[in-house]
Chain A
Amino acid sequence: MTVNVLMPALSPTMEQGKLAKWLKNEGDAVKAGDVIAEIETDKATMEVEAVDEGVLARILVPGGTENVAVNTPIAVIAEEGEEVADTADHAPVDRVGEEDKAQKQAEAAPPVPGQTAPQDEPGEANKAATKAAVEAATPAPKATSVAKEPSATVAPEVPEGTTMVSMTMREALRDAMAEEMRRDPNVFVMGEEVAEYQGAYKITQGLLQEFGARRVVDTPITEYGFAGVAVGAAFAGLRPILEFMTFNFSMQAIDHIVNSAAKTRYMSGGQINCPIVFRGPNGAAARVAAQHSQDYSAWYSQVPGLIVISPSNASDAKGLLKAAIRNDNPVVFLENEILYGKTSEVPALEDFVLPIGKARIARPGKDVTLVSFSIGMTYALQAAEQLAKEGIDAEVIDLRTLRPMDTATIIESVKKTGRCVAIEEGWPQCGISAEIAMRVQQEAFDYLDAPVLRVTGKDTPMPYAANLEKLALPSVADVITAAKAVLYRS
Chain B
Amino acid sequence: MVEESGVASASASTIPPFSREQELTAFRDMLLIRRFEEKAGQLYGMGVIGGFCHLYIGQEAVVVGVKMAARDGDQFTTSYRDHGHMLASGMEPRRVMAELAGKRGGYSKGKGGSMHMFSREANFYGGHGIVGAPAPIGAGVAFANAYRGDGRVSLTFFGEGAANQGQVYEAFNMASLWKLPVVFIVENNRYAMGTEISRASAQIDLSKRGAAFGIPGKQIDGMDVRIVKATADEAIEWCRAGKGPYLIEAQTYRYRGHSMSDPAKYRSKEEVQKMREEHDPIEQVRARLIADGMSEDELKKIDANARKIVAEAADFATADKEPDPSELWTDVLA
Contact = CB atoms under 8 A, between A and B. Distances in A.
Do A and B form a real pair?
Answer: yes
Interface of A: 6, 8-12, 14, 32-33, 41, 43-47, 49, 51, 70-71, 93, 95-98, 192-193, 196-197, 200, 218-222, 224-225, 248-249, 252, 286-292, 458-461, 463-468, 471-472
A224 B46 CA distance: 37
Contacts of A287: 50-51, 102, 113
Contacts of B46: 6, 8-9, 71, 93, 95
Contacts of B101: 96
Given A32-B38, A287-B102, A465-B322, A220 B47 contact: no
A97 B52 contact: no
Interface centre among A196, A467, A471 (most CB of B within 10 A): A467
A460 B332 contact: yes
B261 A44 contact: yes
Contacts of B192: 221
Interface residues of B, number: 56
B42 interface: yes
A51 B41 contact: yes
Given A222-B166, A291-B130, 13 more contacts: A8-B260, A14-B261, A32-B38, A46-B261, A49-B41, A96-B50, A192-B193, A218-B195, A221-B132, A221-B200, A248-B130, A467-B322, A468-B322
B325 interface: yes
B261 A289 contact: no
B329 interface: yes
Interface string B91-111: 000000001011110001111
A193 B195 contact: yes
Contacts of B116: 289-291, 464
Nearest to B102: A465
A471 B51 contact: no
Chain B interface secondary structure, helix, strand, loop or mixed? Answer: loop
Interface of B: 38, 41-42, 44-48, 50-52, 99, 101-104, 108-116, 128-132, 161-162, 164-166, 192-195, 199-201, 255, 260-261, 263, 265-266, 318, 322-323, 325, 327-329, 332
Contacts of A12: 50-52, 261
B51 A286 contact: yes
Interface centre among B46, B103, B194, B200 (most CB of A within 10 A): B46
A249 to B, nearest CB: 7
B111 A465 contact: yes
Given A11-B260, A291-B130, A468 B48 contact: no
B165 A464 contact: no
A471 B108 CA distance: 18
Contacts of B329: 458, 460
B199 to A, nearest CB: 6
Contacts of B332: 459-461
A5 B42 CA distance: 10
Nearest to B47: A95
Given A220-B161, A472-B328, A289 B113 contact: yes
A59 to B, nearest CB: 17
B319 to A, nearest CB: 11
